[in-house]
Chains A and B, each alone.
Chain A
Amino acid sequence: MTGTASGRDLTDGELQCKSPVRGRLPAGHLLLTVLFFLLGLATQPVAAQQSDELLLWHGYRGEERQALEQLLEQYNRSQRETRVRALAVPFGSFADKLSAAVPRGQGPDLFIFGHDRIGGWARAGNTVAPVDDLVSAETLRRFPASLVEAMRFEGRLYGLPFNFKSTALIYNRALVESPPETTDELVALARRHTDRQRGRFGLAYNYTEPFFHGALLNSFGSGPFDRSGRLALDSDGNIRSLEQLLGWVRDERILPEEPNSTLVTNLFNQGRAAMVISGPWMLGEISPDMDYGVAPLPYNNTSGAPLAPWTAVEGIFLSPWSQDRQAAYGLMRYLTGEAAGLRMAVAGGQLPANLAVFSHPEVMADASAQAFRRQLDTAVAIPNLPQMTLLWKPLENALKKVVKGAARPAEEMQRLQGEVQRDVAALELAQQRSDTPRSVPGWVWLVIALCLSGLAVELWRRRQRIAASWRTHRTAYLYILPAMLGMLLLVFFPLLYGLLLSFTDTTLLNENTPFATRWLGLDNYASILGDWNLWYGEGDGRSINYDNFYWTLLVTIAWTASNVILAVGLALVLALALDRPIFGRTWFRVLLILPWAIPNYITALVWKGMFHPQFGVINQALQVVGLAPVAWFDSVGTSFFTGLVTNVWLSIPFMMVVILGGLQSIPRDLYEAARVEGASRWIQFRRITLPLLKPVLVPAVILSVVWTFNMFNVIYLVSDGAPAGANDILITRAFRIGFEKYQYAYAAAYSMVILVLLLCYAMWQMRVSRTLEAGR
């Protein structure tokens, strides 16, 4: 077994994972072992090491999956030495499954995945094995040099390229006779086909997503990293690519606003977008009666080079734990061979990395495939550096800011360079730290020991009561046992794990190193709570630092307060209206409760669509009554408003039902008595309705506050924190830190802070309601 890029001794790691019974075992590892033992229970039947067969994980679905499985069947029939079994892993959880299973000696022998993770895996170690020693030069000649290069990291080859994907120009033949050769032609053509009044556009693509912006970015030849692999986001070329995009959006006005994949596909299918930039994945979604063509992206007159989209390479990777490397390599060779490639291309609709396939008559006839093949000549493989994974989201935010005119390209890229550099530095620092062996400080063990002995003493003191209780309620305890186990595994264990994690500096790059080497203490908390960088810049140019914890806390509190006040207020008004015998009361009740029956993410997405500045019904309605459309997601206030409206809409049904129940439990004769005593409507409401509603209102408000405080769905799906994270609440910020910046420990500490805040609130609220209770 060869060592990994990080240079750590593999056998040591293997020992740690495979033999948990060692003398001095850190608690973190014990917990991890328990967790992965439990996870392992679920994946046991597909763990590869126990059997002689090869296990292959992939994320394919539909046709591609069928094609792959047929190939594997054929392979199993063609030889007797090895049997191959495939497991389709849901794509969304594929990456997590890999990084959870493989470094711990579980999971597949081989897996098919995007190449852009290679750097991260290699750095983290134990996830993917280099294959230089297995692969012959002859086999490598099957693939173009650019794709092979994409599979290399720090001089070593990790896996073989299988398929590739990039964007190209897809155009509507009814509108565009021949595809443009240059961007000047493209813009002129697009301008002719743009009629914003009727919602028609010459060109549509997901230009605020970095993957799609790659075409412009790479045509200036710079890319996110310089030749030595250092981050260079603020390079001249990158800034110019943003300026060119800005020109298309704001001067030429040939692109729709706030694009997303669904919008682009819909526009194209309705004939309202003459050309789109998209990849082979879109072809299946184009309506069957649409006559379309695919062409390589044009030459960019501004940069003096062709538009060069990103290529994502699907590689076949080898697990470092695979026992029969030769057999595994045999399968890699087979799958990247010409025959297999042909089947993947014809039956699976893939673009095989083995380019010989494209000369085959069956594939020659496929004009789209050939166009994507030609695009490969100018395309650029996504850098597989570990830093790349940190780049997507910040770059997307920057792109959105620039096209909306909220920032100038040069300034924004300089700011972005600084931001990403800090994130990268944080990850690298954590990794460097964990390279030096350390042990968890003694006081931690002391605290744990004190807690455990405290618990033991308490249990011992109550042993008689516990024993008596057990004797009398044995059956009851048995009944609640499953729930207790469930709580233990699903609530208390993750909570404890999260707490431990928050004292470390665990990131994407060092998550597999021993727990002790990641120990950090209270630094994460100090960094969160001591973050007083409230502003960017100086003097007139200064702006609020939206990433700051206190800003986010302020937004969260404003968000919670405004939501609860509005939702409870409106629900109260509606409930009061529905409490009296008005016409069609039953129907109104059903109608008002209906939003509750719809999953909240669907409602959130519907509202997001309604707030779309160009195609959303709200702006169209505003225009009908002669008002100016509002760019909802461009400013802090309006963007906050979109989330507020959505969440109030979602909260009202529950609140209304609760309040209605409360209203109906108030005896009618109290109102009659008050009327006879001369109390006006308002006094009846103030002095009778409200006080008597308190017993239902107080718990409803408590629940509502907790739910809203942590309402991830609405923020993430509707405004997504726009603009530039200004409207993120604590929980979405924690998510971004964990899954966009990959600083797991920092995110865990963030979550703990949220937990403590909510705990304080709950305790305060309980005190308040207790005094209310006592006063009744």
Chain B
Amino acid sequence: MAGIEFKRVVKQYPGSQPTVPGLDLCVRDGEFMVLVGPSGCGKSTTLRMIAGLESVSGGELWIGDRLVNDVVPGERDVAMVFQNYALYPHMTVFENMAFGLRVRREPEAVIREKIERAAQTLGLADLLGRKPGQLSGGQCQRVALGRAMVRDPQVFLFDEPLSNLDAELRVQMRANIARLHREFATTSVYVTHDQVEAMTLGQRIAILNAGELMQVGTPMELYNDPDNVFVAGFMGSPPMNIIPVRNGGERASNRLLDLPLAGLSGLGGELLLGLRPEKLEYAAAAPDHWPRLRAAIEMVETLGAEMLVHLGVGEERLVARLPGLRPLAAGETIELAFDPQAVYLFDAGSRQRIRLSQPVGHAEPVL
């Protein structure tokens, strides 16, 4: 097993902007790293560079203690699971799993043993004689996993492996993959655009946007301490409310709220205020010192135990996640309150996090 290190790695196709302008990233040995980001962010390209399916245009890419920029895919000792499974349709499940081993001329007895073990683990034992055309999507994906497992590689690569499965199967497969990683602890890189998958699977998550690395960290680090608006907006469902506010020196305010804050004087006139929907509560039950806001309900999404309430005042929009205690209707005006310590501040220009020396909530709320 081995870690992976990107040192200023560039990927550029001839005649176009760089897809990955210069990536620094370290995947630790045995770690399960999830690359996540919107489509076109370069996450698949990054993964394919590790596999060797895309060449590296600049910088250095290391797997373990090997510089692999010019190593062909077959010699990198990585195994990959594809979105469309990429099973060989003319071969049986057994032959599919044996393909890579036979290419490496492993003895048939060893191959058989490895495949039988993997099939046992993945519940494929009864399917070894079938062809991919006779399998369901979930079975195909398990075969694809098995094919990667029997290789016993240094690195597992997953390219959106669950996106073709239905929701229920996806949950099941997620659990499967997590269990396998616990068992084998092989370095894994997993690409997805689904933040739930990223949160549940990744030991660490790397968030990419337009080829740039936004932030790397454990799921909770990213959730609790986002470095920028992008990460803040990407993690969590529904995403964090980002509200433009004016910097009044001692207070940040707009038509919705007016928040007294210390230490704003050195900052620009326009700020972005971040507030997670789950941090908003009914004003009636909230501590007195919490700032309050009144707004009209535009829409209510009822989810049973809780509801997502969309609020609007003029141009501003907010989403609050409230317990489903009483029915709310569009048009009603409600009063909500929030913990001032739960507020994040971002620079409106650079969209980077502003970390105030004094915790936000210590100022006296006035409203």
Q: Tell me which residues from 16 to 56 in chain B have a Cβ below 8 Å from any Cβ of chain A.
A: 51-53
**Nearest-neighbor residue (CB-CB) of A677 within chain B:** B100
Q: A677-B151, A776-B90 are in contact. Are A687 and B82 (CB under 8 A)?
A: no
Q: Which of A673, A680, A694, A776 contacts B82, CB < 8 Å?
A: A673
Q: A672-B53, A683-B103, A776-B131 are in contact. Are A677 and B74 (CB under 8 A)?
A: yes
Is B73 in contact with A675, judged by CB distance below 8 angstroms? yes
A756 within 8 Å of B (CB atoms): no
In the bound complex, residues from chain B placing their C-beta under 8 Å from that of A669 are 82-84, 86
Q: What is the CA–CA distance of A688 and B100 in the complex, to the nearest angstrom?
A: 13
In the bound complex, residues from chain B placing their C-beta under 8 Å from that of A680 are 74, 103
**Nearest-neighbor residue (CB-CB) of A684 within chain B:** B103
Q: What is the CA–CA distance of A687 and B103 in the complex, to the nearest angstrom?
A: 10
A355 within 8 Å of B (CB atoms): no
Is B103 in contact with A677, judged by CB distance below 8 angstroms? yes
User: Which residues of A are in contact with B by a Cβ distance under 8 Å?
Assistant: 667, 669-670, 672-680, 683, 687-688, 691-692, 694, 776
In the bound complex, residues from chain B placing their C-beta under 8 Å from that of A675 are 52-53, 72-74
Is A692 in contact with B89, judged by CB distance below 8 angstroms? yes
Q: What is the CA–CA distance of A670 and B147 in the complex, to the nearest angstrom?
A: 13
Interface centre among A669, A674, A676, A680 (most CB of B within 10 A): A676
Q: Which of A673, A677, A679, A691 contacts B90, CB < 8 Å?
A: A691
In the bound complex, residues from chain B placing their C-beta under 8 Å from that of A679 are 74, 99-100, 103
Is B90 in contact with A676, judged by CB distance below 8 angstroms? no
New A-B contacts (8) at CB < 8 Å, excluding given A676-B100, A677-B74, A679-B103: A669-B83, A674-B99, A675-B72, A678-B74, A678-B100, A679-B74, A687-B99, A688-B88
Q: What is the CA–CA distance of A680 and B74 in the complex, to the nearest angstrom?
A: 8
In the bound complex, residues from chain A placing their C-beta under 8 Å from that of B82 are 669, 672-673
Q: What is the CA–CA distance of A694 and B91 in the complex, to the nearest angstrom?
A: 13
Q: What is the CA–CA distance of A676 and B74 in the complex, to the nearest angstrom?
A: 5
B104 within 8 Å of A (CB atoms): yes
Q: What is the CA–CA distance of A134 and B268 in the complex, to the nearest angstrom?
A: 126
B272 within 8 Å of A (CB atoms): no
Is A676 in contact with B103, judged by CB distance below 8 angstroms? no
In the bound complex, residues from chain A placing their C-beta under 8 Å from that of B157 are 676
In the bound complex, residues from chain A placing their C-beta under 8 Å from that of B90 are 691-692, 694, 776
Q: What is the CA–CA distance of A669 and B73 in the complex, to the nearest angstrom?
A: 13
A291 → chain B closest CB, angstroms: 66
Is B53 in contact with A678, judged by CB distance below 8 angstroms? no
B234 → chain A closest CB, angstroms: 27
A672 → chain B closest CB, angstroms: 5
Interface centre among A670, A675, A678 (most CB of B within 10 A): A678
B69 → chain A closest CB, angstroms: 16
Is B84 in contact with A678, judged by CB distance below 8 angstroms? no
Q: What is the CA–CA distance of A330 and B133 in the complex, to the nearest angstrom?
A: 84
**Nearest-neighbor residue (CB-CB) of A775 within chain B:** B90
B80 within 8 Å of A (CB atoms): yes
B65 within 8 Å of A (CB atoms): no
B78 within 8 Å of A (CB atoms): yes
Interface 1/0 per residue, B110-121 and A, CB below 8 Å? 000000000000
B75 within 8 Å of A (CB atoms): yes
Is B75 in contact with A678, judged by CB distance below 8 angstroms? yes
**Nearest-neighbor residue (CB-CB) of A694 within chain B:** B90
Is B99 in contact with A676, judged by CB distance below 8 angstroms? no
B198 within 8 Å of A (CB atoms): no
Q: Tell me which residues from 59 to 88 in chain B have a Cβ below 8 Å from any Cβ of chain A.
A: 72-76, 78-80, 82-84, 86, 88
Is B131 in contact with A676, judged by CB distance below 8 angstroms? no
In the bound complex, residues from chain A placing their C-beta under 8 Å from that of B103 are 674, 677-680, 683
Is B99 in contact with A677, judged by CB distance below 8 angstroms? yes
Q: What is the CA–CA distance of A646 and B231 in the complex, to the nearest angstrom?
A: 67
19 pairs from A and B in contact (CB 8 Å cutoff): A667-B84, A667-B86, A669-B84, A672-B82, A673-B86, A673-B147, A674-B99, A674-B103, A676-B51, A676-B76, A676-B80, A677-B103, A678-B73, A678-B75, A678-B100, A678-B103, A683-B103, A691-B90, A694-B90
Q: What is the CA–CA distance of A669 and B79 in the complex, to the nearest angstrom?
A: 13
5 nearest CB pairs, A to B: A678-B74, A677-B100, A669-B86, A673-B86, A691-B90
Is A676 in contact with B84, judged by CB distance below 8 angstroms? no
Is A676 in contact with B73, judged by CB distance below 8 angstroms? yes
In the bound complex, residues from chain A placing their C-beta under 8 Å from that of B131 are 776
A681 → chain B closest CB, angstroms: 11
Q: What is the CA–CA distance of A461 and B51 in the complex, to the nearest angstrom?
A: 66
Q: A669-B82, A683-B103 are in contact. Are A676 and B52 (CB under 8 A)?
A: yes
B135 → chain A closest CB, angstroms: 14
In the bound complex, residues from chain B placing their C-beta under 8 Å from that of A691 are 90
Q: What is the CA–CA distance of A674 and B78 in the complex, to the nearest angstrom?
A: 12
In the bound complex, residues from chain B placing their C-beta under 8 Å from that of A692 are 89-90
**Nearest-neighbor residue (CB-CB) of B72 within chain A:** A675
**Nearest-neighbor residue (CB-CB) of A683 within chain B:** B103
In the bound complex, residues from chain A placing their C-beta under 8 Å from that of B88 are 670, 673, 687-688
Q: What is the CA–CA distance of A679 and B52 in the complex, to the nearest angstrom?
A: 13
Is B75 in contact with A673, judged by CB distance below 8 angstroms? no
Is A670 in contact with B86, judged by CB distance below 8 angstroms? yes
In the bound complex, residues from chain B placing their C-beta under 8 Å from that of A776 are 90, 131, 133
A295 → chain B closest CB, angstroms: 75
B187 → chain A closest CB, angstroms: 15
Interface 1/0 per residue, B181-216 and A, CB below 8 Å? 000000000000000000000000000000000000
B363 → chain A closest CB, angstroms: 56
In the bound complex, residues from chain B placing their C-beta under 8 Å from that of A688 are 88
Q: What is the CA–CA distance of A128 and B183 in the complex, to the nearest angstrom?
A: 101
**Nearest-neighbor residue (CB-CB) of A674 within chain B:** B99
In the bound complex, residues from chain A placing their C-beta under 8 Å from that of B75 are 678
**Nearest-neighbor residue (CB-CB) of B151 within chain A:** A677
Q: What is the CA–CA distance of A141 and B144 in the complex, to the nearest angstrom?
A: 100
B317 → chain A closest CB, angstroms: 41
Q: What is the CA–CA distance of A677 and B77 in the complex, to the nearest angstrom?
A: 8
In the bound complex, residues from chain A placing their C-beta under 8 Å from that of B151 are 677
In the bound complex, residues from chain B placing their C-beta under 8 Å from that of A687 are 88, 99
B104 → chain A closest CB, angstroms: 6
Q: What is the CA–CA distance of A302 and B82 in the complex, to the nearest angstrom?
A: 88
Q: What is the CA–CA distance of A680 and B105 in the complex, to the nearest angstrom?
A: 13
Q: What is the CA–CA distance of A691 and B131 in the complex, to the nearest angstrom?
A: 14
**Nearest-neighbor residue (CB-CB) of A675 within chain B:** B73
Q: What is the CA–CA distance of A678 and B88 in the complex, to the nearest angstrom?
A: 15
**Nearest-neighbor residue (CB-CB) of A679 within chain B:** B103
Interface centre among B52, B86, B147, B151 (most CB of A within 10 A): B86
Q: What is the CA–CA distance of A670 and B100 in the complex, to the nearest angstrom?
A: 12
In the bound complex, residues from chain A placing their C-beta under 8 Å from that of B79 are 676-677
In the bound complex, residues from chain A placing their C-beta under 8 Å from that of B78 are 676
Q: What is the CA–CA distance of A676 and B82 in the complex, to the nearest angstrom?
A: 11
Q: What is the CA–CA distance of A776 and B133 in the complex, to the nearest angstrom?
A: 9
Q: What is the CA–CA distance of A651 and B351 in the complex, to the nearest angstrom?
A: 64
**Nearest-neighbor residue (CB-CB) of A688 within chain B:** B88
In the bound complex, residues from chain A placing their C-beta under 8 Å from that of B86 are 667, 669-670, 672-673
A422 → chain B closest CB, angstroms: 56
Q: What is the CA–CA distance of A669 and B133 in the complex, to the nearest angstrom?
A: 16
**Nearest-neighbor residue (CB-CB) of B90 within chain A:** A691
B54 → chain A closest CB, angstroms: 10
Q: What is the CA–CA distance of A667 and B99 in the complex, to the nearest angstrom?
A: 17
A184 → chain B closest CB, angstroms: 77
In the bound complex, residues from chain A placing their C-beta under 8 Å from that of B89 are 692
